[in-house]
Amino acid sequence: MSLLHVRFTTHLKAWLIAAALSPLALAAQTAPAPNTPQQLRGSTLEGKAFDLQSLRGKVVMVVFWSTDCAVCRDKMPELRANVKGWMGQPFELISVSTDRQRSNAVSYQQLVNATVPANQRFTTLWTGEPLYRDSFGPTGHLPAAFLLDKGGQLVEQYHGRIPPEAWDRIADLL
């Protein structure tokens, strides 16, 4: 057996084991504890300093995504519509790109800036930035969304498609 075959077989077995876990089981293994203040800081794709602490007093949804994730890309119009719908309310949506290359996230952001009205855009960070730090831990299945209350504490989390009930929960927290 070649070394390449051994590596492939090992990776395949690991993937099959991970795939066998239900999304809920995976989320339970990797999720931050509810009702704990979360940390998120770094630079936005535009190069501005960002610290989640500055959003205290607002309900915040942090969405981890990737340009390689079809569900993530499909979800963006819904996220933008909700950002527009909650305008004037103490709500912020922050997206965190998990792309391997910054250029993928930047290219996507440039497309957004050219085609999406400013009132439907949201702050985006990239996990590969040198100053990037978060306390969310491994996000598991993408997209992964974390809903924080006005005190910055984790209230709920969603892995995969964000359910419609999440937007009702935001209304409750406002």
Q: Could you read off the pLDDT of 115-167 as tens digits, one per residue?
A: 999 888 999 999 999 999 999 877 778 999 999 999 999 999 999 888 989 99
**Which CB contacts under 8 angstroms, 24+ apart, belong to 80-88?**
80/116, 80/120, 80/121, 80/122, 81/120, 82/167, 82/170, 83/119, 83/120, 83/121, 83/122, 84/117, 84/119, 84/120, 86/170, 86/174, 87/119
Contacts of 125 (CB under 8 A, 6+ apart): 40, 42, 43, 44, 45, 50, 94, 95, 96, 97, 132
d(CA 160, CA 143): 5
Percentage of the residues of the chain whose pLDDT score is greater than 90: 63
pTM of structure: 0.78
User: Which of the two residues, 20 and 154, has the higher pLDDT score?
Assistant: 154
The stretch 92-115 carries a mean pLDDT of 94
Q: Could you read off the pLDDT of 28-37 as tens digits, one per residue?
A: 334 555 556 7
Q: Residue 143: is the preceding peptide bond cis (ω within 30°)? A: yes
Q: Could you read off the pLDDT of 101-111 as tens digits, one per residue?
A: 999 999 999 99
pLDDT at 93: 96
| 89: helix, strand or coil | coil
User: Which of the two residues, 159 and 26, has the higher pLDDT score?
Assistant: 159
